[in-house]
Amino acid sequence: MPRRARLSLPNIPLHIIQRGNNRQACFFADEDYRFYLDWLAEHADKTGCRVHAYVLMTNHVHLLISADRGEAPGALMKALGQRYVQYVNRSYQRSGTLWEGRFRSCLTQDESYLLACQRYIELNSVRAGMVLHPAEYRWSSYRANAQGEADPLVKPHPLYEALGLDAASQQAAYRELFRYELDPGLVDEIRRATNGNFALGNERFAAQVSEALGRRVVPGKPGRPRKALEL
């Protein structure tokens, strides 16, 4: 069965997840995380991508980005992935693949879904039981978005900037969102959309994306096609 083409549109946020091959580790020391983030910033700038949120876990990566061109996220992940794999193979005297095939992604609707997706990403370390609060985890965008810590990689989305009149009020409003846990149903929705390469949003958003791309962007209904049943 041919692989489904990724969904990507200019200036529509894209949630990306890339896992280590066979769920194995892809970061082994602090300098690995630092190199990855440095190269992410470099290649995001080269490809016209803006990183709104990120988390680097031991064996996978989450990113939330927007791009000026539909093909830019793929170009970013290809250049970044190749460079990082070369570094890991050279540094740890290994060979072969590091990543689990193609990255997974979903186009994410603005409004409530975008900030929910940012929270989903930055709470990853909490859900994994690594820390009790996202501020305790070093390798995510939470400290930049919620506490104003300097991070040249993070480019706030306009919806984030609309949380307040200045940086301090935006950060305070953003921190307030973390007082409440994400609804488990929403967590499942984000996971299904990302793993299936579907649109994350309401029916109107899905219809708009489908019309723009000329293809189905939501899961198909289970069961045999109607025509087959009539044979």
Q: Domains of the chain: which residue ranges?
A: 14-202
Q: Which residues contact 189 (CB under 8 A, 6 or more apart)?
A: 200
What integer pLDDT is reported at residue 230 of this predicted model? 34
Helix (H) or strand (E) holding 52: strand 49-56
What integer pLDDT is reported at residue 30 of this predicted model? 97
CA 163-167-170 angle, 5° bins: 25
Long-range own/partner contacts, residues 140-146 (CB < 8 A, 24 or more apart): 140/53, 140/54, 140/55, 140/56, 141/51, 141/52, 141/53, 141/54, 141/55, 145/53, 145/118, 145/171, 145/174, 146/122, 146/171, 146/174, 146/175, 146/178
What integer pLDDT is reported at residue 119 of this predicted model? 97
Question: What parts of the chain have a pLDDT lower than 70?
Answer: 1-6, 220-231
What integer pLDDT is reported at residue 15 of this predicted model? 97
How far is 132 from 215, CA to CA, in rounded Å? 41
pTM equals 0.90
Fold of 14-202: Alpha-Beta Plaits (3.30.70)
